[in-house]
Structure 1
Amino acid sequence: MTERTLPPEALDAWATVLRDHFALAPDDVPIALILDLARDVAHDVARPAAPFSAFVAGLVAGRAGGSADDIAAAVAAITGLARAHAKDAAGGTP
């Protein structure tokens, strides 16, 4: 592990720092959902698309109101777009 690699147990600590600094509730930062989004986009589109897509999901969810449902809907939409992108890139086959 390098000094730039975040061990799994440190993720919760970093999330706490962010939540505390920005006055966010634990439900405002759905770590597993965000990580799943990043995994799916990295696999179906490209690795560099993962952080960008997570940012877009946050932006879209915030503009929609920022609720847990808004976050889930934005993530679902982007995951669906990534899957469609992969299918299109493969010539219509998954």
Structure 2
Amino acid sequence: MADMTLDDWVVTVAAELGIKELDLDTESVLDLAAVAAHAVVRPAAPLTTFLAGLAAGMAGGSESDLKDAIETATALCERVEEADA
């Protein structure tokens, strides 16, 4: 496992969860996690990314649905950060 890349891990987890096809922009998910961790609180990162993924799945699960959910969640985090500044 130590030699596994993050993309390899994503494919492994997806397969274990029964996700047959996956075209994931890993960087955008990690960017959302970083914004949530810094703008809100650190534990918000996994929760925010989970909720964005859940919203995308409920909307249909397309790459566009995920992009929209990430953009919406990122914008919310940025608004929270600006309000706290």
**Range class of TM-score, shorter chain:** 0.7 to 0.9
Unpaired segments ≥5 residues, structure 1? 1-5
* Counterpart AA for 1:72: K
Residue of structure 2 equivalent to 1:26 = 22
Residue of structure 1 equivalent to 2:10 = 15
Unpaired segments ≥5 residues, structure 2? none
Alignment equivalent of 2:82, drawn from 81, 84, 87:
87
RMSD of aligned alpha carbons: 2.0
Deviations 1:19-61 (A, max 9, x none): 322233231x321111011011111111110000001001111
> How many residue pairs were aligned?
84
TM-score normalised to the size of structure 2?
Answer: 0.86
Percent of pairs identical after alignment? 37
| CA distance 1:30–1:7, change in 2 (3 Å) | farther
Alignment equivalent of 1:35, drawn from 23, 30, 36:
30
Distance 2:60 2:2 in 1: 32
Distance 2:80 2:19 in 1: 36
Q: Which has the larger radius of gyration?
A: 1
* Counterpart AA for 1:82: C
1:63 pairs with 2:58: yes
